[in-house]
Structure 1
Amino acid sequence: MASIPLRLRDHSYDVLIGPGVRTSLPEVVGRLGAGRAVVVSARPREWVPDTGVETLLLPARDGERDKTLATVEALCREFVRFGLTRSDVVVSCGGGTTTDVVGLAAALHHRGVPVVHLPTTLLAQVDAGVGGKTAVNLPEGKNLVGTYWQPSAVLCDTDYLTTLPRRELLNGYGEIARCHFIGAPDLRSLPRAEQIAASVRLKARVVQADERDAGLRHILNYGHTLGHALEKATGFALRHGEGVAVGTVFAGRLAGALGRIGRARVAEHHDVVRSYGLPTAVPSEAGTADLVRLMRHDKKAAGGLTFVLDGPHGAELVHDVPSDVVTHVLTGMPRAPLAALVAADAPPAGRASVATTDPARS
């Protein structure tokens, strides 16, 4: 088991990573002094650990279509019916969309109830469940309504990953692949648990330095500007990690077109993403003009098109990238039908699968 501390000025917690760490939940709830708990779970009841206190279990569904203000309202109304107070705790058990929605509901109910995350997908364990960002979508774009609400603990039980279909595992590697370009060492040859721990250590280091996206934390959105646009343009048929993977390849090409990096580094973006078995081409169903329009709604944008791009001093936020350059690079990206880009959603061999979609992150 790995224990990674995340220490902030006003709040600190630990991220536990390893098999069976979900059984630590009663101890965590006890340390918080919570009298009761609401567990919001997108996983079967048998995968939800005991909290050690009186508990209301609410079903949830992972997926962008339920990542809405209506879902947050429905959860908060259940909290009220249960009589949840700020002396109690909310627990999420699911993928990144679940941690986002439940985190936001916990932040809003009584202006803040403690929350503990049990991320159950690879993407949620390496990114969405850690760092305190919560958000839901609007019809106009992804993650446009949210706030920061740090969890009181994050329990990344790697046993959950044995239940994931192949495509969902690959989805998580989209976030791991982008770590290569924002300060992580080469993670490709490491065992999965070590890849998770390295990704979480990187994120913890960045969040500790910049909790609320004032500067450095923007690097965590590497590949996300196009990635989010691709998710929206395909009606979320392309999942979050898949979109980030394509967005990472695009970010390399765009940085090259702007003279920020050389050809070898541009090629490295493609090679790293491809080595994880992730897509590197833009779905042919997504039109260039629509993608550029969607990227203008990205929450990092302060007016013009804004991207996190590699450069001589590493990854950094670049504002007002000329739209003609963006269009030119995007037009030059390889294209393929969506069905040809994604892995078959087959269950893991020898295991019963848990149906899940986790196209989650900011």
Structure 2
Amino acid sequence: MASVPLRLTDHAYDVLIGPGVRASLPDVVRRLGARRAVVVSARPRAWVPDTGVETLLLAARDGERDKTLATVEALCAEFVRFGLTRSDVVVSCGGGTTTDVVGLAAALYHRGVRVVHLPTSLLAQVDASIGGKTAVNLPAGKNLVGAYWQPSAVLCDTDYLTTLPRRELLNGFGEIARCHFIGAADLRGLPLVDQITASVTLKARIVEADERDTGVRHILNYGHTLGHALEKETGYALRHGEAVAVGTVFAGRLAGALGRIGPARVAEHQDVVESYGLPVALPAEADPGALLRLMRHDKKAVTGLAFALDGPKGAELVSDVRQDVVAHVLDEMPRAPLAALIGDTAPDTAAPETVAPETART
């Protein structure tokens, strides 16, 4: 088991990584002094460990369709009915959309109740559950309404990953691949648990330096500006990690067009992404004009287009990038039909079984 500490000025917690670490949940709940827990799970009952206290189990669904304010409101209403207090705890068990939605509900309920994450997807273990960012989508774009709410613990049980379909693993590799360009060593070929630990360690150190995303934390969005636009433009047919992978290739090309990096480093972006079996081309169906409009809604954009880009000093936020340059790089990107981009894994896209829709007390 690996333990990665995350230490902030007024809050600290550990990220436990390894097989069977979800069994630590009762100890975590006991340490917090909670008398009640609400577990929100997008996974079967058997995947949810005992909390050691009176517990309400609520069903969830991973996926963008439930990443809404309506879902947050519904969860908070259940918290009220159960009598959850500020001294109690909420537990998420699922992928990145579940940790995001549950984290935001915990941040808002009674102006903040403690939350523990049990991420069950690779994407959630290496990124979404770490660092305290919570958010839901609006029709205009991804993650436009949210809050910073740090968890009290994160339990990355790698046993969960053995149940994932191949495409869902690739989804997580999109976040691991972009780590190559924001300060991680070359993670290709390492055992999966080592890749997870390295990715979490990198993110923890960046969050410690900039919890509220006012500086260096922007580099964690490497590949995400175009990635989020691609998700929206494809109706989320392209998954987050897949879209970030394409966005990472684009970020390398844009950095090259701006003279920030040379041709070899530009090519390295595509080489790294391809080595994980991820897509590197824009969906042929994507409208470049629509992508530009969506990228203007990115949270980093203040007066113009902004991207986390590689450069002589490493990755950093570059603001006010000229639209004509971005449009030119988009036009020069390779293109492929959307079905071909996800076709590698199309036969293996079924989500793991979810908890039955009714709630239950245990």
User: What TM bracket, shorter-length normalisation?
Assistant: over 0.9
Q: Which amino acid aligns with 2:274?
A: R
Q: Which amino acid aligns with 1:162?
A: T
| Alpha-carbon separation, structure 2, partners of 1:73 and 1:284 | 37
C-alpha displacement of 1:354: 1.5
Residue matched to 1:81: 81
Q: Does residue 233 of the first structure (1) align with residue 233 of the second (2)?
A: yes
Residue matched to 2:328: 328
Q: Which amino acid aligns with 1:354?
A: P
Residue matched to 2:300: 300
Q: Does residue 354 of the first structure (1) align with residue 352 of the second (2)?
A: yes
Residue matched to 1:288: 288
C-alpha displacement of 1:12: 0.1
- Check conservation: 2:2, 2:18, Cα contact below 8 A: yes
| Alpha-carbon separation, structure 1, partners of 2:202 and 2:113 | 27
- Check conservation: 1:168, 1:345, Cα contact below 8 A: no
C-alpha displacement of 1:189: 1.4
| Alpha-carbon separation, structure 1, partners of 2:48 and 2:119 | 11
| Alpha-carbon separation, structure 1, partners of 2:225 and 2:55 | 39
| Alpha-carbon separation, structure 2, partners of 1:285 and 1:51 | 47
Q: What's the Cα RMSD here?
A: 1.2
- Check conservation: 1:182, 1:219, Cα contact below 8 A: yes
Residue matched to 1:185: 185
- Check conservation: 2:219, 2:308, Cα contact below 8 A: yes
| Alpha-carbon separation, structure 2, partners of 1:299 and 1:194 | 31
Q: Which amino acid aligns with 1:124?
A: A
Q: Which amino acid aligns with 1:217?
A: R
Task: Show CA shifts across 1:206-248 (max 9, x none).
Answer: 0000000010000000000000000000000000000000000
Task: Show CA shifts across 1:276-315 (max 9, x none).
Answer: 0000000111110000010000011012000000000000
Residue matched to 1:360: none
Residue matched to 1:344: 345
| Alpha-carbon separation, structure 2, partners of 1:131 and 1:73 | 23
C-alpha displacement of 1:345: 4.3
TM-score using structure 1 length:
0.96
| Alpha-carbon separation, structure 1, partners of 2:66 and 2:204 | 28
- Check conservation: 1:165, 1:346, Cα contact below 8 A: no
Q: Which amino acid aligns with 1:72?
A: V
Equivalences for residues 58-207 of structure 1 within 5 A: 58-207=58-207
Residue matched to 2:357: none
| Alpha-carbon separation, structure 2, partners of 1:355 and 1:272 | 32
| Alpha-carbon separation, structure 2, partners of 1:216 and 1:25 | 32
| Alpha-carbon separation, structure 1, partners of 2:147 and 2:222 | 20
Q: Which amino acid aligns with 1:102?
A: V
Using the aligned pairs only, state the percent identity: 82
Q: Does residue 42 of the first structure (1) align with residue 42 of the second (2)?
A: yes
Query: Given the superposition, is the C-alpha separation of residues 346 and 154 from structure 1 closer, same or farther in structure 2, using an over 3 Å criterion?
Result: farther
C-alpha displacement of 1:346: 4.5
C-alpha displacement of 1:347: 5.0
Q: Which amino acid aligns with 1:76?
A: C
| Alpha-carbon separation, structure 1, partners of 2:195 and 2:281 | 25
Query: Given the superposition, is the C-alpha separation of residues 5 and 236 from structure 1 closer, same or farther in structure 2, using an over 3 Å criterion?
Result: same
SS of the aligned residue for 2:51 comes to coil
The runs of 5 or more residues in structure 1 that have no matched partner are 357-362
| Alpha-carbon separation, structure 2, partners of 1:305 and 1:130 | 27
| Alpha-carbon separation, structure 2, partners of 1:30 and 1:284 | 52
Residue matched to 1:359: none
- Check conservation: 1:164, 1:355, Cα contact below 8 A: no
- Check conservation: 1:166, 1:345, Cα contact below 8 A: no
| Alpha-carbon separation, structure 1, partners of 2:289 and 2:21 | 46
Q: Which amino acid aligns with 2:42?
A: A
- Check conservation: 2:44, 2:353, Cα contact below 8 A: no
| Alpha-carbon separation, structure 2, partners of 1:271 and 1:64 | 29
Task: Show CA shifts across 1:34-82 (max 9, x none).
Answer: 0000000000011111000000000000001100000000000000000
Q: Which amino acid aligns with 1:316?
A: E
| Alpha-carbon separation, structure 2, partners of 1:74 and 1:254 | 42
SS of the aligned residue for 1:237 comes to coil
Residue matched to 1:315: 315
Task: Show CA shifts across 1:152-197 (max 9, x none).
Answer: 0000000000010000000000000000000000000100000000
Query: Given the superposition, is the C-alpha separation of residues 345 and 17 from structure 1 closer, same or farther in structure 2, using an over 3 Å criterion?
Result: farther
| Alpha-carbon separation, structure 2, partners of 1:307 and 1:344 | 29
How many pairs does the alignment contain? 353
